[in-house]
Structure 1
Amino acid sequence: MSINLLGKKIGMTQVFNEEGHAIPVTILEVGPCIITQIKTIDHDGYDAIQIGYEYLKETQGTKAKIGHLKKNNIPNVKYLKEQRYKIGEKNLKIGQIVTVEEFKIGHKINVSGKSIGKGFCGYQKRHNFSRGPMSHGSKNHRQPGSIGAGTTPGRVFPGKRMAGHMGNIQTTIKNLDIIDVDPENNILIIKGAVPGKVGNVIYIYNNQ
């Protein structure tokens, strides 16, 4: 079982395979992450590890987090993430550094992150509704139309697809192929797109 890692989205580009076909790829800066806590069934009721990413100054962050890390003599980090992990599978210890070497070319990964926020959006953009007639007499070009029956039920059912806030939600893209791994620069190149904009923090799950 591989350790999942935190990283950042650097941007997108394209690479060419042996047949000369252009492949759209996303470049990720993954890790290095540090193991900040190990939980066991005896002590916590379940097996898990907590990793930290992106070092900070000693005084930055909340006092609770600084105290939590200082208890195990761990450098101050900005992001913490916990994952279920069977501790007996590997000889892990607090303070151990985990790098992009966990991933191999050809493996498939899932990438989770916050999608790009698009603000308040209407029906067509948010739910792919079709528009109204565009002829001269029509006054229903991008309006919603009826949203329910009248006296019965006398209300709009919860979950009705309407205009509202779009994007900026946690999204996961599954089964992305790893094209290249650069352990020296902590770079991971994967096929396709991942959620969020450049600089967003993403969470990488190894499917292997």
Structure 2
Amino acid sequence: MQTSALPDLAHTGAKPVHWLATAAATAAVVALAGLLQPHAATATAPAPEHGTGSAAAPGTAPATAPDPSGAVFPLDCGPVGQTVAASVPGDLDGDGRPETVASVHCDAGSGTPPSGLYVLTQTGGAAPRVVATLVDPAGKLTVTGLAVHDGTVSADLLGYSSAGVPRCCPDERESVTWRWEGNAFVRSAGPAADGSEAA
């Protein structure tokens, strides 16, 4: 019988203490690698757009836009309550603090209840408050396509050509913008559209 030229490998039989030591060493290496990871990149606020005011001072959090759920709107809905259909933040007056534009209507459950379009502001820890009404619900219009870009509010206003048009189906559409000028919002209107576009 020929003997093996290899050394005796009997000592390589792993014992539980060997595996325990290996596991502990591996865990230590993984923990050390986690501690030596580079710091995560931090996001920086983009520079303000033209006409949006100055950026927040270094080390301070940027101002947040008013939350419309905390505002009281001048819209009498009785027991059905109100619904904020859409809201968009934006710095409308160029002071570096964002306002919120909110489209609100009564929660009628059916039909097309008229909308109110309001501008909200907030100072300190006070509740958001309405500072301007862009669309009065008394006008019986529905606001859609609400947007704020570069300090300009834009929306489509859906309305009715006569009292005989069913309240579910507005047949007129007008594209409108508002911009803060001096001490008031100035409205500019586009051409009225026919009912085929007022989906």
Q: Do the two structures share a fold, i.e. TM-score over 0.5? A: no
Give the TM interval when normalised to the shorter protein: under 0.3
Q: Would you tell me which structure has more strand in proportion to its own residues?
A: 1
Question: What's the TM-score, normalizing by structure 2?
Answer: 0.23
Q: Would you tell me which structure has more helix in proportion to its own residues?
A: 2
Question: What's the TM-score, normalizing by structure 1?
Answer: 0.23
